[in-house]
Amino acid sequence: MLDMKYDGADLRSKRRPRSIIDRVWSFFASVKVGLWLIGLIIVGSAIGTIFPQEMYIPQQLPPEQYYLEEYGTPGSIYYALGFHNLYTSWWYISLIVMLTLSLIVVSIDRGVPLYKALKHQPVRRTERFMKGQRLFGQGEATDAQMDEMEVALKKKRYHVKRDGDALLAEKHRFGRWGPYVNHVGLVIFFLGAMLRVFPAFHTDTLEWVREGDTVSLEATDGEYYLRNDQFILEMYDPENNEEDAKFAAAIEKAGAVPKNYETELTLFKKTGMNEDGSPQLEQIDTGSTKVNHPFKFDKFEVYQEQYSSRPEFLSMSFMLADKQTGDEYGPFKVDLENPEQSYDLNGVTVSLKDLYPDFEVKDGQPNTKSPRALNPAFFFNVETPDGATESNLIGIRLNVADEDNRYEVKFAGTEMASTSGLRVKSDSTYPILIVGATIFMIGIVMGMYWPHRRVWIRRHENDVLVAGFTNKNPSSLRREVSPLLEQTGLPMWEDQARFTSKSENESIDERGES
Amino acid sequence: MTKDQQKDDRMEQAVAKKKKRSFSRLMIMTVVLFAGAITLMQLFDQAGNDGRIEAGDEAPNFKLVTLDGSTLYERDNYEGKGMLLNFWGTFCEPCKKEMPVVQENYAALQDMGVDFWAVNVGETPLRVDNFINDLGVKLDYPILMDTKSEVEGAYGIYNLPVTFVIDGEGNVIEKYEGELSKEKLMELAEKSL
């Protein structure tokens, strides 16, 4: 049988390559190379799922340290080879670029000759060509029977061409373009994937914002600022909420169950710079972001992604009690970020001598574990009107003072702030990806559901030859056309693949035109 | 037209067609590979731009006041030969240990034309002042207060102490994480020149 791939057309890349251009072209025109590229991309993608991608790991440590400490040497290799940012690793992008080129070259190399061969195909084919088709029959018949066949084929929506005593009926030729349409879709898709590397098309950053703070958004290149007005963490509360009471049993079992994570936000746009280097901000919008309900502005989306489980202290307030008279002074408030060092309370002066934002005792000395106000402790000196100085070390569940002190510093209240982790994203490549994927699917459907069918009939000496071709599902072509052959009395064809082994004539590659 | 002429004609056409085809092949491959190269370049550009300053980057500018609030230091106004830019915190034990070492060698550094700036990360002047008084060593080099952690953020600091070696043009030559010994300090100072 004849090799009917690309309709026997001559593939340019199969000619002996001469120049370097031709050689490179032939390399990318090879289906084998294309399959290798796809294989490598699949294997790479699979390995990329073994450990988490960089965007999903905690941010307290530098990533190279995290992968090493968490996963040992394999983690370290994983990081070094760029698997932690798979889709933007240099070799992954290189593979995608090569596959894109391969798809384009293959399509031109095969699609163009196929198109030309089908466009200019003759109605009359050689005897050898017709005998080389999978469906072939030979026998006696009249011209009238052929005319009858033409009508019958037209009824089955075949396009019929006549050339003297030869007939060509064809349908669904466009199904042959399916793979090429599919390739166009893929190329568009990959183009979109490559554009994601550029910040103008795709940004993705996590911003930690403490309540009350305003931060410049890196994803917007400092054009926009967000203020965290309030972070809300609601728990299911079966005791006080009727709705939640339904789940009482489940909640009892699970402990505290969060119901809502939400950050109330104010959006600012930078309009200029002040002289001291701080930005001039104009309020644009207010809103909130909840899990799965992002706050949207411009082309950006702000997702509630994380929160810090330990709120920070902004300030602490204290009262000063006179143990002799029972009088109380205050309260006075100590701002933890920018503390006043002296507080005058009706003639009694309290001075702040030291402040440990994250208190611990180390080697018998008060100390701080970090600069974050997670567990503040204060060292106060109270200067009494009679000239004495009394020391106090006050913290959470901590009050170290001399029993004989006249004054006692008492804890009166706190202001705290939670920190919310917001993911700021933009992705303008979605439309490109959707268009690419849609074209890809259209190509698949075209190729899958519209098999290209052709029937040739011609007179040869005293006989009539009948041959059939389809690129898919030959039995369905037989089911469609065999009854017509029977009805018109033309010679019946046989499926030659049933009788001859396939390898016999596989190398024959002939255009078969007469 | 003779047969030979016809043959020549067809040869010429074939050659012209082949040239045209070679050209279009070259164009297609160039365009795709060029687009790929631009994408990769963008990628490499970003890889060095993960918010953490490393060797080879330009040192970001900043303006910070000293602990006593008396002097404003601006990175880009620095006119010495080299600079060691150190980040530290009172809660960091190796930071505490390296400070007397730096103080001992500060005069030698200055003779070389290298200044040492120590940026405290996000603490209150009160705490830092107490810490330095408790240290028992008088520090001659500038302690700069990054109370809002903005410079810490700009340099992408994770571990303390960290010392950036910056040359006269403001380029980071090396980033050294860890406690400074006398030898290390002098070695880094040499590198900054």
A6-45 pLDDT, tens digit each: 777 777 666 665 788 888 898 999 999 999 999 999 999 9
Q: Which of A50-54, A91-95, A454-458, A472-476 has the highest mean pLDDT?
A: A454-458
pLDDT value for A347: 77
| Total domains in the fold of chain A | 4
Q: Looking at residues A360-381, what average pLDDT do you find?
A: 86
Contact B36 A94 (CB under 8 A): yes
Same domain (yes/no): A329, A291: no
pLDDT value for A447: 92
Q: Which of A111-120, A278-287, A371-380 has the highest mean pLDDT?
A: A111-120
pLDDT value for A513: 39
* Closest Cα in chain B, distance from residue A69 (Å): 15
Greater confidence, A434 or B154?
A: A434
What token pair was written down for A193? 């994937």
**Residue A182: which pLDDT band, with cuts at 50, 70 and 90?**
very high
Instruction: Say if A153 falls within a structural domain.
Output: no
Chain B residues touching A90 at Cβ < 8 A: 40, 43-44
Chain A residues touching B36 at Cβ < 8 A: 93-94, 97-98, 100-101, 194
Above pLDDT 90, what percent of chain B? 13
Side-chain-side CA neighbours of residue A291 (13 Å): 10
pLDDT of residue A511 exceeding 70: no
Q: Looking at residues B138-159, what average pLDDT do you find?
A: 86
Same domain (yes/no): A186, A211: no
pLDDT value for B49: 63
* Domain termination site, one of A368, A395, A426: A426
Q: Does A369 touch chain B (CB under 8 A)?
A: yes
List the one residue out of B57, B67, B140 whose CA is nearest residue B100.
B140
Q: What's the one-letter identity of residue A179? A: P
Instruction: Say if A230 falls within a structural domain.
Output: yes
Instruction: Give the best residue of B19, B28, B43 to mutate against chain A (max A CB count within 10 A).
Output: B43
Chain B residues touching A370 at Cβ < 8 A: 89, 91
Q: Does A194 touch chain B (CB under 8 A)?
A: yes
pLDDT value for A500: 53
Exposed, middle or buried: residue A299 (CB in 10 Å: 0-12, 13-18, 19+)? middle
Chain A residues touching B91 at Cβ < 8 A: 358, 367-371
Same domain (yes/no): A337, A260: no
**Residue A508: which pLDDT band, with cuts at 50, 70 and 90?**
very low
Residue pair B60/B154 in contact by the 8 Å Cβ criterion: yes
Residue pair B128/B96 in contact by the 8 Å Cβ criterion: no
Same domain (yes/no): A318, A306: no
Instruction: Give the best residue of B20, B24, B25 to mutate against chain A (max A CB count within 10 A).
Output: B25
Q: Does A314 touch chain B (CB under 8 A)?
A: no
Instruction: Say if A475 falls within a structural domain.
Output: no
Same domain (yes/no): A28, A77: yes
d(CA A86, CA A96): 12
Same domain (yes/no): A212, A318: no
Same domain (yes/no): A30, A68: yes
d(CA A187, CA A100): 6
Counts for chain A of helices (H) and strands (E), in that order: 11, 24
Chain B residues touching A97 at Cβ < 8 A: 32-33, 35-36, 39-40
pLDDT value for A310: 80
Contact B63 A337 (CB under 8 A): no
pLDDT value for A507: 43
d(CA A14, CA A30): 9
Domain span at residue A440 reads: 178-196+431-446
Q: Looking at residues B58-68, what average pLDDT do you find?
A: 87
Q: Does B15 touch chain A (CB under 8 A)?
A: no
* Closest Cα in chain A, distance from residue B147 (Å): 8
Chain A residues touching B89 at Cβ < 8 A: 370-371
Greater confidence, B7 or A97?
A: A97
pLDDT of residue A251 exceeding 80: no
Model's pTM, two decimal places?
0.72
pLDDT value for A215: 87
Q: Lowest mean pLDDT: which of A146-150, A325-329, B122-126?
A: A325-329
Instruction: Say if A33 falls within a structural domain.
Output: yes
Chain A residues touching B42 at Cβ < 8 A: 197-198
| Strand stretches in A195-298, DSSP E | 202-210, 214-216, 224-235, 258-273, 279-290, 295-297
> Which residue in A62, A356, A368 is closest to B158 by CB distance?
A62
Same domain (yes/no): A253, A328: no
Same domain (yes/no): A289, A340: no
Instruction: Say if A340 falls within a structural domain.
Output: yes
pLDDT value for A510: 44
pLDDT of residue A49 exceeding 50: yes
